[in-house]
Amino acid sequence: MPLKQNKQFVERLWSELLNQGRVDALPEFVSPAFLDHSPLPGLSSGFDGMRDRLVLLHGAFPDFRSVILDLTAEEDKVVALVQSSGTHKGGPFLGAPATGKPWSIQEIHILRLAQGKLVEHWGIPDFWSMLQQLGLTLDPRGAPEGAARRKTRCAVS
């Protein structure tokens, strides 16, 4: 597909799969031989893992939304910079029950297309920030209560 068509395909995929949660549309957009190089923990890296990711995201975050901020296309790949957000008021996420807290992060996704379908995906989400916003991590600036802080010296030659 020409570069413009690749970008339009990704925009449609994002709208229907990510934002509308249309799991029934997966075969239209995703190859049966799909490979996710960055699946969510515990999910498979194939077609079924993509389906499970959509179900998990929309189950845990009923108001899940992902807005494309920028798309760049080159050969058979499209790179998307997105802003994703939601509120953890549904089912569990990564084993944690609903916190009721909102989150918003930026992500970079690389999508490889072939024969009009998504065949590979690499994702770089800011999960640390997401987990902090959900209250599921410790504050990295402080040690846990009672823990001794170490002073580090750096030798300069």
pLDDT at 148: 46
At 153 the pLDDT is 46
Q: Is residue 100 part of a domain?
A: yes
CA-CA-CA-CA dihedral for 65, 39, 23, 116, to nearest 10? 100
Q: Is 143 part of a structural domain of the chain?
A: no
CATH number at residue 117: 3.10.450.50
Which residues fall within 8 angstroms of residue 72, CB to CB, at 6 or more apart?
A: 78, 79
SS3 of residue 83 by DSSP? strand
Q: How many domains does the chain have?
A: 1
Alpha helices in 35-150 (DSSP H): 47-60, 127-133
Looking at the domain assignment, is residue 37 inside a domain? yes
Tell me if 10 is assigned to some domain. yes
Q: Is residue 109 included in any domain, yes or no?
A: yes
pLDDT at position 106, please? 98
Query: Which residue ranges of the chain lie beneath pLDDT 50?
Result: 143-154, 156-157
The residue segments making up the domain with residue 37 are: 3-133
